[in-house]
Each structure stands twice: as C-alpha cells, then as structure tokens.
Chains A and B, each alone.
Chain A
Amino acid sequence: MKNSKFKTQNTGNETENYVLVKPGMSPKEIVDKVRSSAKVFLSSTGMRDAGQSDYKNRHRIYDLSTLAPYYNNMGLFSAECHGGARWHVGVMNRRESPFEEIAILRELMPDVLLQTLIRETNLWGYRPYPKNVIEYVVSRIDIDVWRCFSFLNDVRNMRAVAEVVMKRGRLFQPAISFTVAEWATNKYYLGVVRDIVDLCGGTDEIIVCIKDMAGVGSIKQIGTLVDSIKQAYPEIVLQYHRHITDGLAMPALLAAAQAGTKIFDVEEDSLVRFYGQSPILGVQAYFEESGISVHLNRKDAEAAVQKVREWIGHYEWAESPFKGYDHTVTSHKMPGGAFPSSFEQAEKGEFLHLMPAVLKVMSLYNKIIHYFDVTPGSQITWVTCSGIVNWYAKERGEAGVNHLIELLVKFIDEKGLNLDSMKKEEQAEILGLFRNAPGDFKNLLVGSYGKLPMGWPPGWVYRSAFGEEWEDRIRERRELSPLDVLEDDDLVKLRKDMSEAIGRAPSEEEFILYLMHPKDAVQFIEFRDKYGEAPLVLPTDVWREGLKKPGDRVEFELWGKPYCIELVSMGSEHEGVIHVVMKVNNKTRVYTVETPRAKKIEIRMAREPGDIATPIKGNVWRIGNPERGALKVGDIVHKGEEIANIEAMKMENAIEAPFDGQIKEICVKLNDPVSEGQLLFVIEEL
C-alpha cells in the first residue's frame, strides 16, 4: 500500500502472543488447532456483517482499518471483512474496491485470517454465474476463510466454489442456512450437513457454519441441533453465526457452546445495535462466567471497542429508521443484513408506514413458499411482498391492505392453503396475488436457482405468476443445479466489451468487478478515474459533507507524502454554478462546480441509422458542396457525396453521405459550433 494512513501501527498492548491460527496455515492445521484447544474462539464481524446489519454497509475502510492493529494480536479466529453485500455497496456507494480493502488489511493485520461470505453460484451478486466465471473469480481473490451458503441449502450449488477454494489450500467454510419453521427440523439440517461432508470429503479440512441470518433460532433448538450434528460427526468443528434481532442471541450462543460449538461470530460492543451479532466483550464475560474459556486478548478487544467510538458517530445517517429489537422476526424472518436497506427503500419509496403490513405479509408468504430468507432469497421475498402490499395500498388504500392481510390469514392459517375452500371471488383474488411479481420470483419458480428445499410450491402459485402459460412453465421447470445448466460466459468478449465501456484496457481486478456487476463497475471506474483515491484518504466527515466553512481543512497522506486541502471561500450559486476556492498544499485554486440546476444546452446527438453525425468538434462552414451549392430538406444525395464540411483549426473535414438518400432534416445552421457526435442531418435511405 502506498498510502501511509494504512501503515502498520503499534497498539501499545504488547503482552503475550495470542495468534493461534494465521494466513499461510493449511486448512487441516487450522482445523486441528481449533479442535485441539480447550477454549472456544471468536470471529469478529466488525468489518463486514456488523456494518451490513445496522449501517447499510457504509462503514468505510478508512475507519475500519483503525481496528486492524488491535485485531492483529487479539486472538481472533478470523475477521469477516469481505463479501455479502459489502462488495457491491463498496463499488456503488463507498467507491472502494474489495481488492483495495484486502490489500490494506493484509498490511495492517498480517496475522489474521481474512474471511468472506459468498453466495454459492450467486457469488457476490444476485443471480447465478456460470461455472467459468465462478472459477475465474474465486481463484483470484486473496481470502483465507470462505464461508459459503445457499439460500436453498442446495449443497450441489457450492461445488464450484468448494473445489477452487480447497484446491488453493484455503479454508472452505460451508454454511447451513438456518431458520425456524415446522419443516426445518434437526433431521432436515442433518441431511444438509451430510451433503456438505460428502461434498468436502470429510470433516478434517472444513469448518461448518450454522448461519442464523435473521436471528430467530430458539435457545433450545440450537442446543439440540448442535448436539445431533456432533453425535453424527464427533470431529466436526462448528461455527455459529447468529443475529440478535429477536433479543435472545446471547443465551443461544451459550447453548451452542455448551453443546460443542467451537467458534462464534461477535462484533465490537460499540458497533452493536439491533440486527447484527452479539457484543464481543459481553460474550467473553458471559461465557467465562458460565465456565467456558474463551481465547481472546481482552485488552486489545477493549481497545478496539473504544476505537470504534471515535468514528461511529459519522454513520448515524446510515442506521435503520426501524429501531430496537424485533421478536416478530421469528415470523417475518427478515435477515439482519436486509433490515437497514429494506427500511431505506421503504423510506425512499414513501411506504415506511406500510412496513408493519409488509412484514406481516412476509410472514404469511413464508408459509406458501419454502426457502431461506437470505440473499438472494430475502430480496425475492422483500420485493414480492412489498410489491403486493404497495399494489393494494395504491388501488384500494389502507382498507385494501387490511383486507389483503385478512384474506391471506384466512387462506393460509384458517383454511390450510386449501384454495377450493375459499369463496369464488376470494379464489380469483388469490390467483391475482403474484401477477406483478418480480422476474426473480418467477425464475425461482422455474428452477433457475436450483431446487427448493421442501419441494415446489402448489400449482395455484404458478397460475398466479404465469397466467395461462402456467402449465408450460411447470413442465419446463428444472431441478438441476445452475452449475450444470448455465453456459460459460465468453470472457474474452466480456473483457473487450469492458475495454470499450471504459475506454482503456482494464486491470485484472477491474475486470473481476465488472464480471460481478458490469454497470456498477463501469461507474465505479469512471468515478475513480475522476476522483482518484478520495474514497481511501478522506476522513468520513469530509467524504460525506466536504469542508464546511472558510478555514476548514483536511490533512492526509497520499503515497507517503503530506497534503492539505483548505477551504478559502465558497461562492453563492449563480446560473447553476458555484465557485469554490481552496488551497491545495498552499496553492490557491478555483473549482467551478455545476449544481443540479446548471443550464444544460441540449445538443442533439446522432442515434439512429439515418442520423449523420460530425466526427469532430468544430464549426459548420458549409452545408452542401461547391458543385451543387447548399442543400435543403427534400434534396436527394448520393453515397460518397460531400454534404457538409466541418472546419476545425483551419482543417477541413468533409462529411459524406453514407448511402443514397433524401434529406429529411438539417439539424444545424451555417457557422454553428458543433461537438463530436452531434447530429447534422437526418437522411432517409432510398
């Protein structure tokens, strides 16, 4: 890293060495170390899931990196710092690349295992990627622990990721997506574990995660589940990931520990709000008091908790507007990671007041279609259910929303999903339920993501979603894994497309960003080409608000050299422009900033096949040619005939008719200045 903000620092807490597992160890060594220790271990989600669950993933590496020196000798099993939605939000909203984050953290905490969260074939996106893309991407990312989950618990979908990770000698951590439902029995989960063990060739080189992403598991069930897994596989090392949304997380962690779980996800106490993981210091104290010894450098952990308080105030704006624990999560199952972003969408879409109804409909929807509410399933649930509620609200108002809920309660809870037992008009209404459902919901029904854990939903769901073609869709439905269905992408072509989009050859890392999220990656690269390392070096208040009053300054180091930007003065808005005067390392510079009200002179650009554009910026000095003189609308022109001439810097540039045609429109006047690509003529081909 050239940036000296991210220099290795000394925490001042030098006592004994707490590092038990570290990068470079083989998966087997790591598993053995944990297995043979009498203590339990902690993974901190402070650098990923804590931020995702309560702060929309807006925590910047600028701030998170301040924790790294403490993490380095804290005795953590791992630091979850990558994956989930952090990748995409980094590219879109923080304008940081996950590659930069890894590089910074490797430098600052070389002894800590870096952990990601990956969505089997969906990687860090929302749709299945073909096998060659999965292999290309996974083999090029420097992560030590790969936690991989399937929202369908379809272990087949994990194969491509598992193979690459295990071949590289990195630790694969398959996860069971865990929820509470009648059908989600210990026996069912044991079957998933069996699939995992089969896929990974035993339990010696993996750690298995139980992922309670919504924070819904009952204390009793987690104990019995861990116990039954341990009975089936006594040597298995288990890690427990549990959100705190229902308010019962800490006793659940203890129950899991007492049943033999070795590793627990926690976060800094000062980061804890309502939907993330349990507080690291609290968990350690609670476990120790209960007779379970925890491997943790308490002094550094306390220092990290304290460090968070220095910057967490900058993120209040990102917190969910829905405050407090929510035990009803056990019915609606919204995962911790989706809380702030869902409520943000509701706020932006002006339906925050409908959220109780949406959550209620989600809890009913769960009883119709069975999968796990975690990405991309949670998005499908959210978009489908909020769409239904919004449709009723718009068409029939508040009464309509109440009616919808009554209808569904009757149909699902009272009539046990028996459509025939409903009245005719109620049947018709139920069959209209999914008519506007999103494309991903329909993809799910036809098997694009793989097979559903409890089988396909009933026929009426298909009728509702697909109308008359519903039986065709059922016939076409697949049970294969996307890995066996999707055709490989043409990486050479994709790289070429990308080069065209950004106007240069991409770096390897840029190409991977593009493979994940093409449109957002291009925007990210354009942003960074324009604003350089601003996202990495600016403190969060300046990043978000800028400099506020004259004399305010920001000091930072870039590539090892000191820099200072000071606001001298800010003009008032005039014709859509604000002039900002700043001193950049003492040199005064004036910046002209266009406001959204900046006057935009509309220039028509050539878009259609018959549109004739100027290839260069210049002045129109002739319309027509010397032989036939000026042209007018209706004139016939011939292929290769000069129809206009653009002068730029005394050089003439003949514009020729690309085909025989008739002039429909002349879009410029003589002596008009024109810019590259601007429309000159519309010609109809003859």
Chain B
Amino acid sequence: MERKVNKLLVANRGVPAVRVMLTCRDRKIRTTAVYSTPDRLAHHVFMADSAVHIGEAPPVESYLNMEHMINAALQTGSDAIHPGWGFLAENGDFARMVMDAGLTWIGPPPEVIRLMGDKIEAKKIAARADVPTIPGISDVKDVKEIKKWLNEADVNFPVMIKAAAGGGGRGMFKVESEDGLATAFSQARSEAMKAFGDDTVLVEKYIESGRHIEVQVVADEHGNVVHLFERECTIQRRNQKIIEEAPSPTLNADLRNEICLTAVRLMREIGYRSAGTIEFIFDSVTKKFYFLEVNTRLQVEHGITELITGLDIVGIMLDVATGKKLPFKQPDIHPNRWALEVRLNAEDPRSFSPSFGTVTRLQIPQGPNVRVSSGVYEGDDVPPYYDSLFMLLMTAGADRQDAIRVMDRALGRNLRVEGIKSLQPLLLSIIRHPAFIAGEFSTRFLEEHHDELVSMFVEKNSEDEVLKIAKYVAEISALGPQGWM
C-alpha cells in the first residue's frame, strides 16, 4: 500500500536532523524540527518549516521523550517521523508508537529493530543464518561469570564488554587484563543504563589488529534486498569511528563479494526493510570476518556510500517507507569512485575531552569533490548535553589517493573552526600519516600513533593570520594603550 508523506518530523538535532531535512527539501516535503531548551536557536530549528519545543536539556526529557515527539508530530500536522541516528533511532517501542499514532515510520519494522537491538539475540540469529560470529557470552550478571567463561572457552585478554542494547561505541569497554575487569564491568553497566535504559551487557573476545568493515543494505516491503557495497570504518577513537571510507582498501574482489552477499542473506533472513547496515570485524591476519551487529537505522557514514553510488539513502528510506519498490536491482549498482569521510567532533584533539561553547568562526570547505554536512552555523552554541559531532566532511575522487588529496585540501586549507576545539588537526595528521596512506592500519591505529599524530604540524594561512591581527585591533581599539607597551 502506498502512502504519502506531506510533512515530516525529524526526531533529532544537529547533523542528522539537518541531513534528513535536506532530502525533504529536494522532495518538497515540509519538515518539523524538535528542540530542547538549549537548542532553541540551533541550526536544525531554522532549517525546518516549523519547530516544536519538546523539553529541557537532558536527553531523557527532550530528544528521548517519545510522547513529546508523537505529540509534536500530531500538533504540527506532520504525517511521518524520521529518527535520524542516535536518540530514538533504534528504539522499537518508539517505532511502534509512531505507527500506532497513524504516522509513517521512516525506518525498519519495530520487531526487526527490537530483534537486532538485542545484541545477544542478534548474534544467535546471525549464527543461524550461517554468518560467522565472535566467541563470547551474553547476559553477563557478574565478573565471576566472565572469568569462568574465559577459562572454559580458553579465551585470552583483551576482551570487550558491550551494552546489549548499545551501538555507536557507547557502553563499550576494552579490558586488557583481569585487573580492570571489575571497574569496566560496572562502568559498562552503568553507562548502558544511562544511555539505553538497560544494563544488560555481553562479553566477547577482542580481535587484535581487526578492521571494521560494514555493508550498507536497502530493502523494500516487496522482498527486494540490495546492498550498496561496503564501507571501512577502522580508524576509531574509544571505539567510535572518526574516519570512514568506501570502498574498503582491505578487501579484494572475492572477499568483497562474500561479505556483501553474507549481509544480504542476513537481512533477507530477518525480513529487513528500509536502510540498514551490517557491521563486521575483519581479522586482517586470518582474512576472516565476524558478524558484529546490525544497525537498524541510517548511519552517520552513509554519505560516502551516496558519494560512490550517486544514490540518496534518505530518499530511498522515504520511498520504501511509503510502500514504493526499490527503483533498482543489484546489477544496477555501480560504485565508480572513492569517498572519504572525517567526523568533526567538538573535542580536544589531544585528550578527546569534550569542548563546548560558541562557534566564533566557521569557514566551510568548498571546491570540487567536497561534501559537507554541518549541524552548526557560525555563531551557534555547541551545548554540553549531546553528542560532540558537529560536522561531517566528505571528499571523493577517482581513486583513494585522489580522495585523500581533496581531504587534505579541505581540512588543511579550507575548514576553519574557532571558539570550540575540534578534531581537525588530528584528522589532518591521520590522513597524512604514511600508514594511513598505505592503507595499513587497524582499529588500534590511534592508540599506536597518538603521540606522533598530535605533534604533527598544522599549517598557517593568511586568512587565519589576519583574523589574529583583527582581534588585536579590536582589543586595543576598545581598551586603549596597554601597560606592557
């Protein structure tokens, strides 16, 4: 049955909200923004055609408040909700509530979300579908249980403790030895409770020198499941991706085919619909890949897949949510370039401690082969309550070297952010690092190279320099001659 979306509420803020609204503008679909008190003047609010205040700063009172979301949609005459990523994107109950309220849910069916949201269940289903999985135990109640498993399954440290309901790197703790086990266990549970409202955790063997590879899949309600090839997201900090690229520089044609078809098989098995991603960890020594999880939502890094395929994944989500068929079959998908993405987080590039405040200067990169997805504008405030991502910067090229060269220009010569600290200098150092350029790295790249990366040189340009001079002129004009003169 085909439905129509006339007005869409985006149950999100910042970068994902802005991203979804841009496709809506393409489609001439009107949009509704929601905002918490500190986000009153945020970028996504002004992007939308209407906006609703949904609560105070803490996420549970605003962006995680399901009732307020539904009411906001009804009150503004919106007929559909897109959750973006994070917040309520992988909440099956919310998806159900949206549908029960007579609104169109832009995402996979609630049952699929619930099923895949339970990491333990998901792993079982993957195993049933003959998808390789990592050794581990689920629903861990105490540290003793972990020790017992380590012993019985003959697994060595390091191990990974993860929130069963988690995703996006939250509630994940790598444990190097028995000493850190207790602290990490309780911290994982506590963070899981705070972030996802569920403190169930699982423990898995940690794959050393692993690479993170994932497959983008789209599916409609007519039984069509098509993959849009893979992305590699190996460069991470604290288990959160900071650089992604497509295609993966790790895979050869056979492995690529195998991993993509495995993904399609799993998604078909679970009856997936909309856009989703299957994440794998790839052991570059043994050339084996293991199932990690299914992300039942739009992912942060979907843009690089759009760049290599020319498709609009948000647009596809809208189409299949309204009952349309996918407009293509697998043989129609021909990626023909290389794309790179870096995540600009408002963080200290040395310590990764969060930075917030006013963006006093924002110069957005332009020029050939650059795509920017910004959640903020110059003069905007980055509040301390939410995810630190404020901008995605993507570049493309005929090959990997091209894409890196464009990224070097965009990060080094174009992008300027002042007022808040950002990962920019670190990201620039990474893409200039010989190991990155050679494509030889693991998820531990940052830990291994952190010191040399932060000491690398950030170039000066006259645009920045003149603003320093202007700052001086402003201060002296206001304050007059200074005592130190």
Query: Which A residues are within 8 Å of any B CB, using their own CB?
Result: 58, 92-93, 317, 504-505, 530-534, 537-538, 542-548, 554, 556, 558-559, 561, 563, 565, 567, 570, 578, 580, 582, 584-585, 589, 591, 593, 595-596, 615-619, 626, 642, 648-652, 654, 673, 676
Contacts and interface: CB of A to CB of B under 8 A. Distances in A.
B477 A589 contact: no
Chain B contact residues, majority secondary structure = helix
Given A616-B353, A648-B384, A649-B386, A544 B476 contact: yes
Contact of B477 (A531, A533, A548, A595): A548
6 contacts: A531-B471, A532-B465, A532-B472, A543-B476, A593-B474, A649-B386
A582 B481 contact: no
A559 B170 contact: no
B422 to A, nearest CB: 13
B475 A538 contact: no
Contacts of B478: 546, 570, 578, 580, 591, 593, 595
A584 B467 contact: yes
A565 to B, nearest CB: 5
Interface stretch (B90-98, B188-196, B287-295, B435-443): B188-196
B328 interface: no
Nearest to A505: B455
Nearest to B468: A532
A317 B170 CA distance: 61
A80 B353 CA distance: 51
Interface residues of B, number: 42
A517 to B, nearest CB: 14
A559 B462 contact: yes
A501 B312 CA distance: 50
A617 B353 contact: yes
Contacts of B455: 504-505
B386 to A, nearest CB: 7
Contacts of B347: 649
B470 A654 contact: no
Nearest to A528: B468
B469 A538 contact: yes
Given A92-B484, A546-B480, A650-B195, A534 B384 contact: no
B473 A565 contact: yes
A650 B469 CA distance: 37
A650 B386 contact: yes
B187 A652 contact: yes
Contact of A591 (B186, B387, B464, B471): B471
Contacts of A534: 468-469, 472-473
B350 to A, nearest CB: 9
B336 interface: no
Contacts of B471: 530-531, 591
Contact of B469 (A537, A651, A652): A537
A578 B480 CA distance: 12
**A-B pairs, 8 with minimum CB distance:** A546-B477, A532-B468, A591-B474, A546-B476, A616-B353, A534-B472, A593-B478, A531-B472
B387 to A, nearest CB: 6
B474 A582 contact: yes
B200 interface: no
Contact of B353 (A533, A548, A559, A615): A615
A626 B481 contact: no
B253 interface: no
Given A534-B469, A616-B354, A619-B384, A626 B190 contact: yes
B183 interface: yes
B479 interface: yes
A392 B467 CA distance: 52
B153 interface: no
B286 interface: no
Nearest to B345: A649
B353 A676 contact: yes
Nearest to B480: A545
Nearest to B378: A589
Contacts of B356: 617
A92 B481 CA distance: 15
A83 to B, nearest CB: 21
A542 B474 CA distance: 10
B360 to A, nearest CB: 9
Contacts of A563: 466, 469
A559 B477 contact: no
Contacts of A545: 476-477, 480-481
B238 to A, nearest CB: 8
Nearest to A673: B384
B354 A593 contact: no
A187 B470 CA distance: 60
Contacts of A537: 469
A589 B190 CA distance: 45
B322 interface: no
B388 interface: yes
Interface string B154-191: 00000000000000001000000000000100110011
Given A537-B469, A652-B194, A673-B384, 18 more contacts: A317-B481, A531-B468, A531-B471, A532-B465, A532-B468, A542-B473, A546-B478, A547-B473, A547-B477, A563-B466, A565-B469, A565-B470, A578-B478, A580-B478, A591-B471, A591-B474, A616-B353, A649-B388
Contacts of B190: 626, 652
B355 interface: yes
A531 to B, nearest CB: 4
B351 interface: yes
B485 to A, nearest CB: 6
Nearest to B383: A649
A566 to B, nearest CB: 10
Contact of A558 (B59, B351, B388, B469): B469
A272 B465 CA distance: 36
B470 A589 contact: yes
A542 B472 CA distance: 10
Nearest to A564: B466
B468 A567 contact: no
A652 B465 contact: no
Contacts of A650: 59, 170, 194-195, 386-387
B428 to A, nearest CB: 15
Contact of A93 (B170, B466, B473, B484): B484
Nearest to B454: A504
Contacts of B355: 617
A654 B183 CA distance: 9
A504 B384 CA distance: 28
Given A584-B467, A652-B194, A567 B472 contact: no
B419 to A, nearest CB: 11
Contacts of B485: 58, 93, 544
Contacts of A580: 474-475, 477-478
